[in-house]
Structure 1
Amino acid sequence: MTRKRAGCARGVARALAVRGAVATAAMAAVAAPLGVSTSASLAVSLVMPQAALAADTTPIAPAEKLLFLTPHLHGVASQTELDYSLVVSAPPEKSTDRVRVLVASDDNAKSDATVSDASGKVTVPGDLPCNPIILYFLERDIAEMEQLTGGQRRYFQQRVRLALAAGPPITDATAQVDGKPVKARKIVIQPYLNDPNAARFPKYTSKRYTFVLADGVPGGVSLLLTEVPGDNGDFTHPVKTESVSFETSVRKLSPPARGAPSTPKTPSNAPRASR
């Protein structure tokens, strides 16, 4: 990783890890549109400019490092397409889609991997060494929470950030690649479980996020999952689940250099076909 890229990645990761008084003030500011009255929101404009400085001295949690600062695409050749299955299930309805990550440069060294789904190319935050499928998944979820609840996007972003910054355990798990088990690591968070504003969206209070990552899976990501449980936190009968799971990797031919022929010319001494 270049010094410039590493510095940028650290800066973004630190922004993800805002804690303490800065995080509290930020949460207070975005809580206001949810109907929560707070005097802290008046001071947030003074506190937020110091967020990067405050976060800079705070250790980044292992869960954050694993998700956002790990070069998951290391070892993936240029012009490789990683295919993921997107499944949204809200019984009795179920929909599926395919999400593609195109790794344009070897190891994604140029941070130029792109994401596309049925809608076409999708813009995700850049300058992080992680597999952009993680950012796609979280951005999609946060946008959906905003739409479903009427809350602010920043509020849900902050809840997820704080849940990861709190240091959730990373446990051993197993993933499947071509029908074979590989060692994996799993992170589980419930960002709204102790949210003081959860009464505004009780349906999602126990919503659970699961991240399964494995070095033996091309691109490092095996499964990303959200679950909205049924009554009384019943995860065996969820009312809605959304998952992104690895399917396969496809090696594509590199595009020909500019001006180069796409097919080789017939050698001059090759036998000619009879007329």
Structure 2
Amino acid sequence: MTGASGAAVRGGARAFAWRGVAALTVLAAVSMSLPQAAHSADAASGANAADAPIAPAEKLMFLTPHLHGVASQTELDYALVVTVPPNKQTDRVRVFVASADNSKSDASVSDGSGKVQLPENLPCNPVILYFLERDIAEMEQATGGQRRYFQQRVRLALAASPPITDATVQLDGKAVKARKIVIQPYLHDPNAQRFPRFTSKRYTFLLADAVPGGVWLLRTDVPGDNDDFAHPLKTESLSYEGSLRKLQPPAQSKPPSPSATPNAPRASR
């Protein structure tokens, strides 16, 4: 990740601490330069979403204790791959779980740019917020729009109760059950003409209880011409690679002070 992208993630991540997590309020009013009617409609829909019950997709993504069962001092490793054919960039993202089950809410995220500041006291795996805020920062940069606008679209798409379907993933050579969520936040966006390249952009989330940290895959796809997802213009994915427990070395004990041997010979007077 570039320094600019890393700074954008660190600066904007707190806004994804959504309903029922850190703030049960609507995200700030859409600040993109929109017609007043569209601005009011989005603000109203955001207010209605805030008052509605939290959707199952939101619960699964943000209110589930994904790090339950993870031992203290464990590092969860993820591969971040950005593909813009024919080029591909990779990075490694690490979630360090300091306390068992993340009971102290002290899990931290780092990537190639260093540690990333994210909201605290959240039950979910913070790598989810990391991935979404990174995506939001890139949308802002690519379109000239405002971060809060894109946050709003993704939030509303999840609040609209998208289907959660059963899936299967491979973990250590074994098939394990997973749950899949797919959203297209900009598909029916009345302002999508301002960024037509991203109108059909698709977000795919695969979560599995058997995977340490609960997250198997987070992915976005920008399709090619005529919504050709088989030949996407851009794909970004964050996928689980493995876990490593980093046991702390035992504390160094002070060596015993030498003591006189009881039967040692004594100097003569």
Q: What is the TM-score normalised by the length of structure 2? A: 0.81
Q: What's the offset of the Cα at 1:10? A: 2.4
Supply the distance in 1 between the matched residues of 2:89 and 2:167 (Cα, whole angstroms): 27
| 1:254 to 1:205, Cα distance in 2 relative to 1, 3 A | same
Task: Give 3-state SS (helix, strand or coil) of 2:76's partner.
Answer: strand
> 1:78 and 1:39, CA in 2 relative to 1: closer, same or farther beyond 3 A?
same
Give the partner amino acid of 2:85.
P
Aligned residue-pair number: 241
- Please name the residue that 1:84 is paired with: 78
Matched, 1:160 2:154: yes
- Call closer, same or farther: CA 1:251–1:9 in 2, change over 3 Å: farther
Which of 35, 38, 43 is the equivalent residue of 1:37? Answer: 35
Query: Quick one: structure 1 residues 232 and 265, their matched pair in 2 at CA, closer, same or farther if it must change by over 3 Å?
Result: farther
Tell me how far apart the structure 1 counterparts of residues 219 and 41 of structure 2 sit (CA, whole Å): 36
Q: Which residue of 2 aligns with 1:223?
A: 217
Aligned with residue 237 of structure 2, among 233, 243, 247 = 243
Q: Alpha carbon RMSD of aligned pairs, Å?
A: 2.9
C-alpha change, 1:265 and 1:232, in structure 2 (3 Å) is: farther
Matched letter for residue 10 of structure 1 = G
- Equivalent residue number for residue 52 of structure 2: 58
For residue 12 of structure 1, what is the amino acid of its counterpart? A
Cα distance in 2 for partners of 1:9, 1:37 equals 27
State the Cα distance separating 1:11 from its structure 2 match: 4.5
Contact 2:19 2:50 in 1 (8 A): no
Report which of the two structures shows the higher radius of gyration computed on alpha carbons: 2
Please report how far the alpha carbon of residue 252 of structure 1 lies from its aligned counterpart in structure 2 after TM superposition. Answer: 0.5
**Counterpart in 2 of 1:5?**
none
What's the counterpart of residue 144 of structure 1? 138
Q: Check whether the contact 2:203–2:221 (CA below 8 A) recurs between aligned residues.
A: yes
Q: Specify the code of the residue in structure 2 equivalent to 1:175.
A: V
Q: Does 1:212 align with 2:206?
A: yes
- Equivalents in 2 of 1:160, 1:196: separation in Å? 14
Deviation string, structure 1 residues 79-107 (Cα, Å, up to 9, x no partner): 00000000000001001111000001110
Per the TM alignment, residue 55 of structure 1 is displaced from its structure 2 partner at its CA by 6.1
Q: How does 1:1-275 map to 2 (within 5 A)?
A: 10-12=20-22, 14-15=24-25, 18=26, 26=29, 29-31=30-32, 33=33, 36-38=34-36, 57-254=51-248, 256=250, 260-261=251-252
In structure 1, C-alpha distance between the alignment counterparts of 2:205 and 2:160, rounded to whole Å? 16
> Relative to structure 1, is the Cα distance of residues 68 and 174 closer, same or farther in structure 2, using a 3 angstrom cutoff?
same
Gaps of 5+ in 1: 1-7, 269-275
Aligned AA (1:224): L
Q: Distance in 2 between matches of 1:243 and 1:72?
A: 19
Distance, in Å, in 1 between the alignment partners of 2:192 and 2:99 is: 43
1:126 CA displacement: 2.3
Match of 1:273 in 2: none
**Structure 1, 131-140 or 247-256: larger mean CA deviation:** 247-256
More helix by share: 1
- Does the residue aligned with 1:232 lie in a helix, a strand or coil? coil
8 Å contact 2:21–2:122 — kept in the other structure?
no
Query: Structure 1: how far apart are the matches of 2:23 and 2:249?
Result: 34
Please give the secondary structure, in 2, of the residue aligned with 1:14: coil
Identity of aligned residues (%): 71
Mark the CA change 1:223 to 1:122 in structure 2 (over 3 Å): closer, same or farther.
same
Contact 1:191 1:207 in 2 (8 A): yes
| Cα distance change of structure 1 residues 44 and 62 upon mapping to structure 2, 3 Å threshold | closer
Conserved 8 A contact 1:9-1:128:
no
Change (3 A) 1:118 1:55: same
CA deviation digits over 1:217-256, x for unaligned, max 9? 0000000000000000000000100000000000101365
